[in-house]
Structure 1
Amino acid sequence: MTFRRAALVVLILVLLAPLALAGGWQAFLRFQPDRQRYPVRGIDVSHHQGAIDWPAVAADDVAFAYLKASEGGDHRDRQFAMNWRAARQAGVRVGAYHYFTLCRPGVDQARNFLATTPPDVDALPPVVDLEFGGNCGTRPDGAALRLQLDAFLGPVEQRAGRPAVLYMTDEFRRAYGGVLPDRPQWRRSIVFKPSGRTAWTIWQFHNRGRVAGIKGPVDLNLFAGDRAAFDRWAGP
C-alpha cells in the first residue's frame, strides 16, 4: 500500500469513527432485553426526574415503579409523597426504596424510612439500596455491616409483613455478598444480564432509558417472571 493510499484509509477511518460511535450510542439507548421472556417492565425514580406525568408513564408499558423515599437517618426525598399518590392514581404498582448509608445506625435509618412511607398494604416489598456510589467514606467490615443492616430490616419488614428486597451493584456484592442476608435481589447490571448463580428478582438493565412522561433519562428495570408471577410476588 502506498503512502498516499494509506493516508486515505486513515482519513476515511477518522471520518467514519464518529458515525460508528453515534450508531453504537443509539443502539445502547434503544437496548431492551427480550420482551417476550421479560414482559413486566418498571422504573425507579427520585426527585432527580423532576415532575412526572404518571398517566403517560402508565401508558408507556410501565407496570411498576420504585420511588426513593429516604436516605440515611434524616434525608427524605422531596418528590416522594407526590410521586406515590400520582403513580397509584395512574394504576402503576409502587414501592419505596431507602438508600442505606454506611455511616449511620441501621435503627435510625429504619425510623426515617418508616416515617416517610405510608403503610399501604398493596405496596410492593420495601427495598434497601446498597451501593458505594454517593455513600460516605466509611467501609465497615462484614460483621458490622450485617449488624446495622439487620437493625434496619427488622422493623421495616415487620411493618411490611414480608421480606425486603436488596438492591445492589456488582461492586457492593463483590465486597459484601458473603455476609448479606438471604433476601430477593435487585441487581444492577447495565445491558448485560446479571452474572453469578444467585437468583435475582429484578434486573436494572439501563440507566439512560427513556419513558413517556419523564423528561430526561431514567433507570429501566424488569421482573424475572411473567405477569402472573409478578402479581403473586407483588401481593394484593
Structure 2
Amino acid sequence: MVILLAVLRQMGVWIPNALFVRNYVVRGADVSAYQGTIDWKRLSSQPIRFVFLKATEGAGFQDKQFARNWEQARQSGLVVGAYHFFNFDVPASEQAENFIRTVPVQAGALPPTVDVEFYGKFNQNHPAREKVRPMLDTLLTALEEHYGKKPMLYCTESAYHAYLTGAYVQNPVWIRNVWLKPSVPANWTFWQYTDKGRLDGTNGTEQFVDLNVFCGGEQAFQQFVSG
C-alpha cells in the first residue's frame, strides 16, 4: 500500500496533504525555465493569485525565462515575486549582486526570496551553521537595502532546523512540506504543499508545477504585498 501511494504521488495522481490546504483560499505557483515558454494568459486564468519565478543561482546563473516570465506574469494580473537559489560555495556578496542586477525593483512585487535547501553533495554533508549563517546575513542585508523590504526565506524543514531556528524571526518564511502540514515554523507565510501540481499553459521538460498557499485570506494577502 505504501509503495502504491508513493507511485501515485510521483505520478501526480495523489496529493497527500490535499485536505490540509483546502481552507487556504489564496493560492499560487512557482516556476522556472523547466516549465518552458509559459502561456501566461492561460496560466493566470486558473485559480491562482500569485507566482514566484526563479531568477538566479549562485554568482552567475540567470534563469533563461526569467525576464519574459517577469514581464508577462505581471501583465497577466498575477502578483509576482522572484527567488534566488542559494549556493553554499559562492561568496554571498556575489550572489546578492547577481540577483540585484537581474531582478527589477518593482512596486507591488512579493519580497525577494532566498531558497535555502540541500543539494548535490550537501544532501549528505550539510554545511555547518557557523558557515552558512554569516553568508545569509550578508545576502539578506544586501537584498533588504536594495529592495526596501525584508527578504523571504524558502526552505525545507530540514534546512529550517539547520539554519533558521531562532534566527531571522522578522523575515517571512516560505516552507516546503509535500506530505503534511508544516510542523515548523508556526508562523509560516507561504507553504509549498506539492511539487506535482498541474496547470494549463506550461510546455517544458517538467510536466509538473509546484503549488503553494498563503497563510491568510485575500485581505491579509493584500496587506502583505503592500507592506
Structure 1 residue 143: Cα displacement: 2.4
Q: Cα gap change, 1:79/1:170 in structure 2, threshold over 3 Å: closer, same or farther?
A: same
Aligned to 1:8: none
Structure 1 residue 89: Cα displacement: 0.8
Q: Cα gap change, 1:37/1:60 in structure 2, threshold over 3 Å: closer, same or farther?
A: same
Aligned to 1:97: 83
Structure 1 residue 141: Cα displacement: 2.2
* Separation (CA, whole Å) in 1 of partners of 2:51 and 2:193: 14
For 1:213, give the aligned amino acid.
G
For 1:219, give the aligned amino acid.
D
* Separation (CA, whole Å) in 2 of partners of 1:21 and 1:152: 39
Aligned to 1:207: 195
Q: Cα gap change, 1:147/1:180 in structure 2, threshold over 3 Å: closer, same or farther?
A: same
Question: Does residue 77 of the first structure (1) align with residue 68 of the second (2)?
Answer: no
Question: Does residue 232 of the first structure (1) align with residue 223 of the second (2)?
Answer: yes
* Separation (CA, whole Å) in 1 of partners of 2:53 and 2:78: 11
Matches within 5 A, 1:44-123: 44-123=30-109
Question: Percent identity over the alignment?
Answer: 38
- SS of the aligned residue for 1:222 comes to strand
Is the 2:20–2:181 Cα contact (8 Å) retained in structure 1? no
For 2:142, give the aligned amino acid.
P
Moved more, 107-116 or 142-151: 142-151
Task: Give the aligned length.
Answer: 221
Question: Does residue 38 of the first structure (1) align with residue 29 of the second (2)?
Answer: no
Is the 2:9–2:196 Cα contact (8 Å) retained in structure 1? no
- For residues 27-65 of structure 1, the C-alpha deviation after alignment (integer angstroms, 9 at most, x for no partner) is 515963466621000101110110111111111111100
* Separation (CA, whole Å) in 2 of partners of 1:220 and 1:18: 23
Is the 1:57–1:213 Cα contact (8 Å) retained in structure 2? yes
- SS of the aligned residue for 2:14 comes to helix
TM-score by length of 1: 0.84
Q: Cα gap change, 1:64/1:46 in structure 2, threshold over 3 Å: closer, same or farther?
A: same
- SS of the aligned residue for 1:28 comes to coil
- SS of the aligned residue for 1:124 comes to coil
- For residues 96-141 of structure 1, the C-alpha deviation after alignment (integer angstroms, 9 at most, x for no partner) is 0000000111111000000000111221111100000247687432
TM-score by length of 2: 0.87
For 2:97, give the aligned amino acid.
R
Larger radius of gyration: 1
* Separation (CA, whole Å) in 2 of partners of 1:112 and 1:164: 15
Picking from 127, 142, 149, the partner of 2:136 is 149
Q: Cα gap change, 1:145/1:30 in structure 2, threshold over 3 Å: closer, same or farther?
A: closer
Moved more, 153-162 or 72-81: 153-162
Structure 1 residue 180: Cα displacement: 3.9
* Separation (CA, whole Å) in 1 of partners of 2:26 and 2:187: 17
Picking from 177, 180, 202, the partner of 1:192 is 180
Aligned to 1:181: 168
Structure 1 residue 20: Cα displacement: 11
Name structure 1 gaps, 5 residues minimum: 1-12
